Structure 1
Amino acid sequence: MKIVDVCAFYSPRGGGVRTYVEQKLKIGPQLGHEIVIVAPGDEDSVIERGPGARIVFLRSPRFPLDRKYWYFNEAERLHAVLDAEAPDFVEATSPWRSASLVADWPGAAPRSLVMHADPLSAYAYRWFGPIFSRETIDRQFSMFWEHLRRNSRRFDHVVCANADLARRLRDGGVANTATIAMGVEPGCFSPDLRDAGLRARLLQACELPETATLLLAVGRLAPEKRWPMVVDAVNAASRDTPIGLVMLGEGREQRMILRHISGNPHIRLLSPERDRRRFARILASADALVHGCEAETFCMVAAEARASGVPVVVPDAGGALDHAQDGAGFSYTACDPASAAQAIRAAAISRPRPATTARTMDEHFEDLFATYAATAAVPRQAA
Structure 2
Amino acid sequence: MKIVDVCAFLSPHGGGVKTYIEQKLAIGPRLGHEIVVIAPGDHDEVIGHGPGARVVKLASPRFPLDRKYWYFDDEPRLHAAISAEAPDFLEASSPWRSASMVGRWPGAAPRALIMHADPLSAYAYRWFGGVLSRETIDRRFERFWEHLRDLGQAFDTVVCASRELQERLLEGGVANAVLHPMGIEAGLFGPERRSAAVRRDLLALCDLPEEAHLLISVGRLAPEKRLPMVVDAVEAASHSLPLGLIVLGAGSQKRRLLAQIAGNPHIRLLSPERNRVKFATLLASADALIHGCEAETFCMAAAEARASGIPVIVPDRGGAADHAGGGAGVRYAAGNAQAAAQAILDLFAGAVPLSSEPVPVVTMAEHFTRLFADYERIASAARRAA
Question: Which has the larger displacement, 371-380 or 276-285?
Answer: 371-380
What per-residue deviation string (whole Å, max 9, x for no partner) do you get for residues 256-299 of structure 1?
01111122100000000010000000000000000000010000
1:117 equivalenced with 2:117 (yes/no): yes
User: How far apart, in 2, do the equivalents of 1:263 and 1:253 lie?
Assistant: 18
Q: Report the equivalent of 2:186.
A: 186
Deviation sequence 1:87-107 (CA, Å, 0-9, x none): 000000110001100000000
Which letter does structure 1 place at the counterpart of 2:380?
A
Q: CA deviation at 1:192?
A: 0.4
For residues 256 and 354 of structure 1, the distance between their equivalents in structure 2, rounded to whole angstroms, comes to 39
**Which runs of 5 or more structure 2 residues have no equivalent in the other structure?**
none
Name whichever of 349-358 and 162-171 sits farther off.
349-358
Distance in 2 between residues matched to 1:331 and 1:355, nearest whole Å = 19
1:139 correspondence with 2:142: no
Mapping 1:1-383, distance limit 5 Å: 1-350=1-350, 355-379=358-382
Contact 2:89 2:111 in 1 (8 A): yes
SS in 2 for 1:377: helix
In structure 1, C-alpha distance between the alignment counterparts of 2:35 and 2:65, rounded to whole Å: 29
Shift of 1:382: 12
Q: CA deviation at 1:33?
A: 0.4
SS of the equivalent of 2:209 reads: coil
Counterpart contact for 2:28–2:35, Cα < 8 Å: yes
> Equivalents in 1 of 2:374, 2:25: separation in Å?
18
- 1:291-323 deviation line (CA, Å, top 9, x unaligned): 000010000010000001000000000010111
CA distance in 2, matches of 1:354, 1:282: 21
> How far apart are the structure 1 equivalents of 2:331 and 2:382?
46
In 2, the alpha carbon distance for the partners of 1:99 and 1:252 equals 25
**Distance across 2 between alignment mates of 1:70 and 1:143:** 25
> How far apart, in 2, do the equivalents of 1:7 and 1:335 lie?
29
Amino acid at match of 1:317: R
Structure 1 residue runs of 5 or longer lacking an equivalent are none
TM-score by length of 1: 0.98
Give the deviation of 1:135 after TM superposition.
1.0
Give 1:348 deviation, angstroms.
2.3
Residues 48-99 of structure 1, C-alpha deviations (whole Å, 9 max, x = no match): 0000000000000001111010000000110001111000000001100011
Moved more, 351-360 or 163-172: 351-360
The Cα of 1:381 is off from its aligned counterpart by 11
Between the two proteins, the alignment pairs up a number of residues equal to: 383
Q: Is the 8 A contact 2:218 2:301 kept in 1?
A: yes
Give the 3-state SS of the residue equivalent to 1:54 in structure 2: strand
| TM score, norm. by length of structure 2 | 0.97
Distance in 1 between the 2:190 and 2:44 partners? Answer: 39
- TM superposition shift of 1:163: 1.0
Alignment check: 8 A CA contact 1:169 1:177 kept = yes
Q: Percent identity?
A: 65
Provide the C-alpha distance between the structure 1 equivalents of 2:385 and 2:266, rounded to a whole number of angstroms.
Answer: 59
Superposed CA deviations along residues 132-189 of structure 1, whole A, max 9, x for unmatched, are 1111111111111000001110100000001110000000010011000101100000
Q: Deviation at 1:380?
A: 5.3
Aligned residue for 1:37, secondary structure, equals strand
| Contact 1:153 1:175 (8 Å CA) reproduced | yes
Root mean square deviation, CA, Å = 1.4
Structure 2 counterpart SS, 1:82: helix
- Residue pair 1:91, 1:112 contacting (<8 A) in 2 also: yes
Letter in 2 for 1:368: L
